[in-house]
Amino acid sequence: MPRRIAIVGLGLIGGSLGLALKRANLPDLEVAGVARSRGTVQKARRLQAIDIDCADAAEAVSGAQLIVVASPIMTIRGVFAEIAPALAEGAVITDVASTKRDVARWAQEFLPMGVHYVGGHPMAGKETQGIDEAEASLFEGKPWVISPSVTADEASVQTIVGLAQLAGARPVFMDAEEHDSYVAAISHLPLVVSSALFSTAFGSAAWPELAALASSGFRDTTRLASGSPEMAHDIIATNRANLLHWLDRFQDELMRFRDVIGSAEGERVIEAFARGQLERDNYMTNGPPQRDVGEPMERISFADMLLGSKIAGMMRKQEEAIRAAEARVDEKKR
């Protein structure tokens, strides 16, 4: 019997994940998909990102061992409520949302006992969205944050580790609160800054002349302004406090630069920009500073882990039976 993975939401991330799964050519695996637009589902089928197109989320998840919710953040609550009655016992549920705290709370609120929620966030994407932008290599070499719920068993966590590795990503463990604080700095703040910078230039009466002069520096710095307004709304709605914190810190840094520039002291100006140059060059050359994270993560066989929760449950029952038998033998010896 084929093993089913369901993908709810077939935009850039969901579509790319479907392509990565199909590229892996795992035996006896079928990928079911559903999206808000029928046209999107049909495109995903033509691109061979999915095997089965479904009319609704409940149909897609029926019998699935793994469900990936790749819909916009603010729709996930409704998706959890919709799919809850159709979930198989032992199913593993993950998501790809760029905020984690509220999604984890919705999972606890709506998902039934007997299924395992493991939050996820692949740190990959583009400023352009939709199934037409999907590519199997989108996740290669990128971090994939894994944020398990307290009720998720080890096998379900390893299933999501295997999924990330199969897509070419690097699994990174982080709790939901920590994740939301960090991505506010390195993902959500750049989105706001990009949009604000473009709005500053566009709002000038000299915009036609400015636009004619704009080159790669302006385009690169404002690239994220071309992203989805719906995504920006959902990020802010679910991570407002963290984003405001980092906006305040950025504002302080801008004021520091303003003070340096206003001082007209050449040495201070050079020092301010040299510090940024040196630190960024070091980061680009050597990567992020390393903390002691213990042994490297073992590569997981995704095909083996797909039935992880069921297997783990069977093993626990066997261990309990062995312990009970040993206890009976000890009792007879007494």
User: In the structure, what pLDDT confidence band is assigned to residue 142 with cuts at 50, 70 and 90?
Assistant: very high
pLDDT, position 126: 86
Residue 334 is assigned to a structural domain of this protein:
no
Name the token pair of 235.
Answer: 């990020």
* Residues 149 and 37 reside in one and the same domain: yes
Work out the average pLDDT over 268-276.
92
Domain count, the chain: 2
Residue 46 is assigned to a structural domain of this protein:
yes
* Residues 113 and 90 reside in one and the same domain: yes
Cβ(39)–Cβ(153) below 8 Å:
no
Decide if pLDDT at 303 tops 90.
Answer: no
Cβ(60)–Cβ(6) below 8 Å:
yes
Domain coverage including residue 165: 3-174+297-314
pLDDT, position 18: 97
Decide if pLDDT at 309 tops 60.
Answer: no
Decide if pLDDT at 295 tops 60.
Answer: no
User: In the structure, what pLDDT confidence band is assigned to residue 151 with cuts at 50, 70 and 90?
Assistant: confident
* Residues 156 and 278 reside in one and the same domain: no
pLDDT, position 52: 93
Cα 172–chain centre separation: 11
* Residues 183 and 169 reside in one and the same domain: no
Cα 170 to Cα 58, 124, 136, 165, 296, distances in angstroms: 30, 11, 15, 6, 11
pLDDT, position 204: 97
Report pLDDT digits (tens) over 46-60: 999 999 999 899 999
pLDDT, position 319: 58
* Residues 209 and 306 reside in one and the same domain: no
DSSP E strands in the chain: the ranges are 3-8, 29-34, 52-53, 66-69, 92-95, 116-122, 143-148, 170-173
pLDDT, position 246: 98
- The conformation of residue 88, written as its DSSP 8-state character, comes to P
Residue 292 is assigned to a structural domain of this protein:
no
* Residues 130 and 240 reside in one and the same domain: no
- What percent of the chain shows pLDDT beyond 90? 80
User: In the structure, what pLDDT confidence band is assigned to residue 305 with cuts at 50, 70 and 90?
Assistant: low
Residue 77 is assigned to a structural domain of this protein:
yes
* Residues 122 and 47 reside in one and the same domain: yes
Rounded Cα gap, residues 334 and 324, in angstroms: 16
Residue 321 is assigned to a structural domain of this protein:
no
Decide if pLDDT at 13 tops 80.
Answer: yes
Work out the average pLDDT over 155-167.
95
Residue 307 is assigned to a structural domain of this protein:
yes
SS3 letters across 167-200: CCCEEEECCHHHHHHHHHHHHHHHHHHHHHHHHH
Decide if pLDDT at 310 tops 60.
Answer: no
pLDDT, position 289: 85
* Residues 302 and 167 reside in one and the same domain: yes
The alpha carbons of the chain give a radius of gyration, in whole angstroms, of 24
CATH number of the domain enclosing 224: 1.10.3660.10
* Residues 53 and 194 reside in one and the same domain: no
Averaged pLDDT of the chain: 90
Kind of pairing between the strands at 116-122 and 143-148: antiparallel
* Residues 84 and 200 reside in one and the same domain: no
* Residues 166 and 30 reside in one and the same domain: yes
Residue 69 is assigned to a structural domain of this protein:
yes
Its pTM stands at: 0.85
Report pLDDT digits (tens) over 188-242: 999 999 999 999 999 999 999 999 999 999 999 999 999 999 999 999 999 999 9
* Residues 158 and 208 reside in one and the same domain: no
User: In the structure, what pLDDT confidence band is assigned to residue 127 with cuts at 50, 70 and 90?
Assistant: confident
CB atoms within 10 A of CB 121: 26
Work out the average pLDDT over 74-102.
96
pLDDT, position 176: 96
CATH number of the domain enclosing 45: 3.40.50.720
